[in-house]
Amino acid sequence: PLADLSAPVLTISRPQAQVGEEVTLVCDSPDAKAPELSLQIKDGNRTLASGTKRPLRFKLVAHKEDDGREFVCEAKLDIKGFVATKQASANLTVISFQDNPHLHVESFVETDTITSIMCQVAGVFPSEKARFNLSFEGGCLNATVSAHGDRATAEAQVSCTTAGERELNCTVALGPVTRSTVTTVCFYNLSAPVLRISRPQAQVGEEVTLVCDSPDAKA
């Protein structure tokens, strides 16, 4: 009976595909034994594939313009002129993420000072969906993220109270793809210099020696 027509199932082989990857749409129905059943795969009002053989498949190559595209699997049961249809839909997400992110930060930073960090990745689509994780010595930083064209950027600030080398990590995720980069920042202490004058009160013509020193400078 027409009322018992089950909803079809639409499966996308790569729901989150990268640009250039092949994607297979599979349209199937639990009512596979019904000889009067036909299937269609549609993109809006356009039919991409149709037939009575199940499951029904359609292959495509993912492009940027396919991002967010909705596909429909339609099952149609035609018994003596009485027609019933049911549909299922699924959306395709398309991304492009080929290059590793780049960290921009000073290599040497004085302790107890604030320095700016920028992590940038280029050639990403859609750039506004890029997710950043900036971490310093294992702790997450509060970053401001922006996107312009095919670039995404995260900016943060960091400081350190002790001298030594510290690790800075930037991880960017887009869909199922994750890329990271790591750099090392050297924090140093620089005490106030000491100026010594051999003869603070010298007579005219006397030789005076000036000594400038920072004895406990260390990195």
Q: Are residues 92 and 25 in the same domain?
A: yes
Residue 207 placed within a domain: no
Q: Give DSSP secondary structure letters for 135-168.
A: EETTEEP--EEEEETTEEEEEEEE--SS-EEEEE
Q: Is the pLDDT of residue 219 over 50?
A: no
Residue 174 placed within a domain: yes
Between the alpha carbon of residue 13 and those of residues 47, 192, 216, the distances in Å are 19, 64, 63
Compute the distance between CA of residue 111 and CA of residue 135 in angstroms, rounded to an integer.
Answer: 18
Q: Is the pLDDT of residue 101 over 80?
A: yes
Residue 210 placed within a domain: no
Per-residue pLDDT band for 213 (boundaries 50, 70, 90) equals confident
Q: Which of these ranges, 26-30, 157-161, 185-189, 196-200, has the smallest mean pLDDT? A: 196-200
Q: Are residues 39 and 81 in the same domain?
A: yes
pLDDT reported for residue 3: 54
Q: Are residues 11 and 50 in the same domain?
A: yes
What percent of the chain lies above the pLDDT cut of 90?
Answer: 68
Find the mean pLDDT for residues 62-74. Answer: 95
The four Cα atoms 103, 107, 112, 115 give a dihedral, to 10 degrees, of -40
* CATH number of the domain encompassing residue 70: 2.60.40.10
Q: Is the pLDDT of residue 211 over 80?
A: yes
Compute the distance between CA of residue 35 and CA of residue 37 in angstroms, rounded to an integer.
Answer: 5
Q: Are residues 169 and 102 in the same domain?
A: yes
Which among 64, 96, 128 is the end of a domain? Answer: 96
Compute the distance between CA of residue 25 and CA of residue 29 in angstroms, rounded to an integer.
Answer: 14
- What does the mean pLDDT of the chain come to? 90
Evaluate the omega torsion of the peptide bond into residue 215 and state whether it is cis, within 30 degrees of 0.
no
Q: Are residues 88 and 7 in the same domain?
A: yes
Compute the distance between CA of residue 17 and CA of residue 94 in angstroms, rounded to an integer.
Answer: 5
Q: Which of these ranges, 4-18, 173-187, 204-218, has the smallest mean pLDDT? A: 204-218
Q: What is the count of structural domains for the chain? A: 2
Q: Is the pLDDT of residue 156 over 70?
A: yes
Compute the distance between CA of residue 65 and CA of residue 113 in angstroms, rounded to an integer.
Answer: 46
Cα angle value 114/117/123 (rounded, 5°): 170
What percent of the chain lies above the pLDDT cut of 70?
Answer: 95
Q: Are residues 46 and 61 in the same domain?
A: yes
Q: Are residues 66 and 131 in the same domain?
A: no
Q: Are residues 141 and 182 in the same domain?
A: yes
Q: Are residues 122 and 72 in the same domain?
A: no
Residue 6 placed within a domain: yes
Determine whether 166 is exposed, middle or buried from the number of CB atoms within 10 Å of its CB (0-12, 13-18, 19+): middle
Q: Is the pLDDT of residue 98 over 90?
A: no
Q: Are residues 15 and 46 in the same domain?
A: yes
pLDDT reported for residue 51: 92
Residue 64 placed within a domain: yes
Find the mean pLDDT for residues 127-135. Answer: 96
Find the mean pLDDT for residues 65-73. Answer: 96
- Between 118 and 175, whose confidence is greater? 118
Residue range(s) defining the domain that contains residue 145: 98-188
Q: Is the pLDDT of residue 79 over 90?
A: no
The 10s digit of each residue's pLDDT in 165-197 is 999 999 999 988 999 999 999 999 877 788 888
The 10s digit of each residue's pLDDT in 45-57 is 899 999 988 899 9
Residue 201 placed within a domain: no
For 37-64, give one letter per residue: b (16+ CB within 10 A) or e.
bbbbbbbeeeebeeeeebbbbbebebee
Which among 32, 62, 96 is the end of a domain? Answer: 96
Q: Are residues 182 and 122 in the same domain?
A: yes
